[in-house]
Structure 1
Amino acid sequence: MSAPPNGDPGAAYSNVVHWLTSETRDQRFIDNIFAELCVRLRRAGIPVKRAALHVLMQHPQWRGARIFWADGMREATITRVDYDVRERPEYVGSPVQEIHNGAAEVRENLEDDPSRGRKHSVYHEWRSEGLTDYVAWPMYHTLGKRHVAAFATDRPGGFDQAHIASLSALLPILALVSEIRIKNRLARTLLETYVGAHAGELILAGATRRGSGTTVHAAVMICDLRDFTRISDNWPRDDVIDILNNYFDAMSEPIARYGGEILKFMGDGLLAIFPLSAPQACTNLLRAVSDARQAMAALNEKNKETGRTSLNYGIGVHVGDVMFGNIGSRTRLDFTVIGPAVNMAARLEALTKQLGRTVLLSRSFADLLENEPGLEPVGEYPVRGFSDPVELFTYHG
């Protein structure tokens, strides 16, 4: 092993191991730990020039992530990896694929004649960058989860055997340190996926007791797809699922873009809130509605071209205090909102079909908007479950 700038290389490496096992407990993010690990390895005389962790994840959009560090970087970068990566040239035949396919080690001497080595383009790229040696190993987590740790150097002659032995010996420790951070990130991702970012944060912070919750002043939006029973009866199952997913994409992405939070999907409907603690929450909700209508128009054009049915929908919007928290049985909870404001939004959504309007807004919501173009009075109408008629508006934005 190369000697560090000062002191005994064995002691310096032991310090790296001690730091990794005992001094990282307060660091939440594996990318920060990985970057500092690589810096400490260089100081200990192990000539790591660049390194990467290739981590598999459970995420609705991403198959995994690549955590990358190179000498001179203060922080590691994280790149998300799509589900279709396995069909891409950058993956097929790569060292990561070799590890995923069962290899216990991938080692490539980048100083050798390229004609004698592996042919994947990434090795040519690394040679052109002056790297001399590359090694990758599987990094095992519990229940058979298999990730990849890789290291490269520009040292003439590459890594020596002491370097390789030291890096290999770190893997079980790095696996333990990384697994808890990745599981924490996974828990956060799954909660964000299924209950939304804000609710997920509350649950992770300990808001898991039945009946616990807070009162939130918010604009409430409920959207429902029309004639879904007819669609589900007349189209194959996979087509129905695809139709629903496209519809939810068109509706959901504008809601997230303008600061709303979708709390649940209800069959072919969704419930979202825009807390009024955010500036311009009501205006933002209308912007989300406007963008969603444009997205739905584009989707219906696409459906028309592919022979699918056009989709109709209704949106009801009201504003008021809602209880935001845990509702359910002793063993199965739902983190959601309840209250008269939610009920009113649901009733207005139902009225859209009766009145032939795509969007219905309550007077209470409209009063919070300032000089908003596109609002049109519809009149006063009785609303089931409420004693007084409600003045309603539609929106043409």
Structure 2
Amino acid sequence: MNAPPNIDSVATDPDNDVVRWLTNETREQRFIDNIFAELCVRLQRADVPIKRASLHLLIQHPQWLGARILWADGTQDAAITRVDYDVRQRSEYIGSPVAEIQDGATEIRENLERDPALGRKHGVYDELRSKGLTDYVAWPMYHTLGKRHAVAFSTDRPGGFDDAHIAYLLRVMPILSLVSEIRMKNRMARTLLETYVGTHAGELILAGATRRGSGTTVHAAIMICDLRDFTRISDNWPRDDVIGLLNDYFDAMSEPIARHGGEILKFMGDGLLAIFPLSQPSACANLLHAVTEARQAMAALNEKSRESGGAPLNFGIGVHVGDVMYGNIGSRTRLDFTVIGPAVNMASRLETFTKQLGKTVLLSRAFADQVANDFDLERVGEYPVRGFSDPIELFAYHG
């Protein structure tokens, strides 16, 4: 059995002082799950007999309400589980220690050795007992502006944690709160940038590309997509139905683009602008693979809509390849990280031509030359394009 730690002697032992390590030696570690796992191992070395620990974080993410970081004895790493937004309606959350913490509890302590009929009723306590654990304690972890998260520790020590163990864990808590908040803020900033400007643009912004007018020239395939008859739909459908329709449409288009290495730079009402940098192998082919999968996803969406009595959605895509200026454009206080240039204008003009020519996907000759050996294309003809002096040869893609 581990002897209870002497808090005063541990605090003066540089090899055993978890607080000193947490305060001074975690600066180079970006990820809170790695810090939490090492924290648990160091607590064990300091004779705090933890066998299992978990960190429960509320995060700002478009898909996830939060995350659980779980560490178990004998492991060097912690497992991360994402938590859905609807978890609060599920039995795994209702009545759980984390729910009690979020409802305002300042400590949850459960003696797992006593008769279960005398303790709290929740599946997590049954799970802990089945693993031979004897004691459980959870506390809120406070971040700024009233944000509450939760951290929990369990032991298999007969009799559970003693007062010295609890005192040591409480000594660690304020520093863990600070360290975790810094990592969460960094991750949150990265997530928000990825969500609103895309992964690559987000990385550039975090790396310091925030000055107006700063940018680079990128050789890329450009794709512009637009939904047909959206004005009629938005005028006649209920607001929530219109938003749901747009989200389904953008899912159908966006997921194949991301899967094949493209980056969506912006949503423009019912349209989107994406690029596939030619620095990536097979970028042009990847764009057409994404278009093929997007069309299949839209067909499935339309079938679902027909089954519920809705009308099918139509769309047009214009594709070109060329140099674009990729960077910050805007006012002194409000910037947009985007691409501009004649190549973008050409893609936009081709998307407009899809309406006139009755084609879903139109490619410029410059783009078609990049993929002609690998894809079946239909030559549509040469057409004058507004803003360009020479007629442009157009090709349709039906894949």
Q: TM-score range by the shorter chain?
A: over 0.9
Deviations 1:297-348 (A, max 9, x none): 0111111122222111100000000000000000100000001110000000
1:340 aligns with 2:342: yes
Q: Is the 8 A contact 2:219 2:321 kept in 1?
A: yes
Residue 97 (structure 1) aligns with: 99
Distance in 1, Cα, partners of 2:75 & 2:349 = 55
CA offsets 1:184-239 (integer angstroms, 9 cap, x no match): 00000000000000000000000000000001000000000011110000001111
Match in the other structure for 1:2: 3
Name the residue aligned to 1:323. Answer: 325
Partner residue, 1:388 = 390
Task: Find the aligned partners of 1:337 and 1:393 in 2 and give their Cα distance.
Answer: 24
What displacement does 1:370 show? Answer: 5.2
Query: Partners of 2:66 and 2:364 in 1: how far apart?
Result: 44
Deviation (angstroms), 1:10: 4.9
Deviations 1:248-286, CA, capped at 9 Å, x for gaps: 000000000101000000000000000000001111100
Distance 1:292 1:89 in 2: 37
* Structure 1 equivalent of residue 139 of structure 2: 137
Whether contact under 8 Å (2:64, 2:83) holds in the other structure is: yes
Following TM superposition, by how much is the alpha carbon of 1:8 offset from its aligned partner in structure 2, in angstroms? Answer: 5.0
Alignment match, 1:123: 125
Q: How is 1:7-18 mapped onto 2 (pairs within 5 angstroms)?
A: 8-12=9-13, 15-18=17-20
Equivalent residue, structure 2, for 1:308: 310
Structure 1 CA distance for aligned equivalents of residues 330 and 158 of structure 2:
64
Question: 2:378, 2:397 within 8 Å by CA — same for their partners in 1?
Answer: yes
Aligned partners of 2:16 and 2:45 also within 8 Å: no
Q: Distance in 1 between matches of 2:230 and 2:289?
A: 26
Residues 1:378 and 2:385 aligned together: no
Q: SS of 1:298's equivalent?
A: helix
AA partner of residue 2 (structure 1): A
Matches within 5 A, 1:136-285: 136-285=138-287
Structure 1 segments of 4 or more deviating over 3 A? 7-14
**Post-superposition shift, 1:89?**
1.3
Give the deviation of 1:241 after TM superposition: 0.5
Structure 2 distance, partners of 1:68, 1:157, is 23
Q: Does 1:361 align with 2:383?
A: no
- Give me the whole-angstrom Cα distance separating, in 1, the residues matched to 2:75 and 2:261: 33
Tell me the residue number matched to 1:58: 60
**Map of 1:77 onto structure 2:** 79
User: How far apart, in 2, do the equivalents of 1:241 and 1:299 lie?
Assistant: 15
More deviation, 97-106/371-380:
371-380
Alignment of 1:87 onto 2:89: yes
SS in 1 for 2:133: coil
Is the Cα–Cα contact under 8 Å of residues 44 and 50 in structure 2 kept in the other structure? yes
Q: CA deviation at 1:369?
A: 1.4
- Give the 3-state SS of the residue equivalent to 2:323 in structure 1: strand
What SS does the corresponding residue of 2:65 show, helix, strand or coil?
A: strand
Task: Name the SS for the 1:367 alignment partner.
Answer: helix
TM-score for the superposition, normalised by structure 2: 0.97
> Deviation digits for residues 145-176 of structure 1, max 9, x if unmatched?
00001111111111111111111221111111
How far apart in 2 are the matches of 1:179 and 1:312? 45
Q: CA deviation at 1:9?
A: 4.3
- Aligned partner of 2:202: which letter? G
**Alpha-carbon distance in 1 for matches of 2:289, 2:160:** 57
Whether the 8 Å CA contact 2:70–2:79 is kept in 1: the answer is yes
Aligned 8 A contact 1:3 1:9 in 2? no
Q: CA deviation at 1:59?
A: 0.8
DSSP 3-state at the match of 1:182: helix
Identity %: 77
Contact 1:3 1:44 in 2 (8 A): no
The 2-side partners of 1:373 and 1:177 are apart by: 52
Indicate which of 290, 293, 302 corresponds to 1:291: 293
Question: What SS is found at the alignment partner of 2:371?
Answer: coil
Query: Aligned residue pairs: how many?
Result: 396
1:110 Cα shift?
Answer: 0.8
Q: 1:3 Cα deviation (Å)? A: 5.2
Instruction: Tell me how far 1:380 sits from its aligned partner.
Output: 1.1
Aligned CA RMSD, in angstroms, stands at 1.5
Judge conservation of contact 1:137–1:150 (CA < 8 Å) in 2: yes
Q: What code does the residue aligned with 2:143 have?
A: H
Pairing of 1:29-68 with structure 2 (within 5 A) = 29-68=31-70
CA contact (8 A) 2:326 2:340 kept: yes
Give the Cα–Cα distance (whole angstroms) in 1 for the partners of residues 297 and 148 of structure 2: 39
TM-score normalized with structure 1 length: 0.97
Distance in 1 (CA, whole Å) between partners of 2:308 and 2:102 is 38
> SS in structure 2 opposite 1:179?
helix
Q: Using the TM superposition, give the Cα deviation of residue 11 of structure 1 relative to its aligned residue in structure 2, in angstroms.
A: 3.9
- Once the two structures are TM-superposed, the CA of residue 84 in structure 1 deviates from its matched residue by 0.5
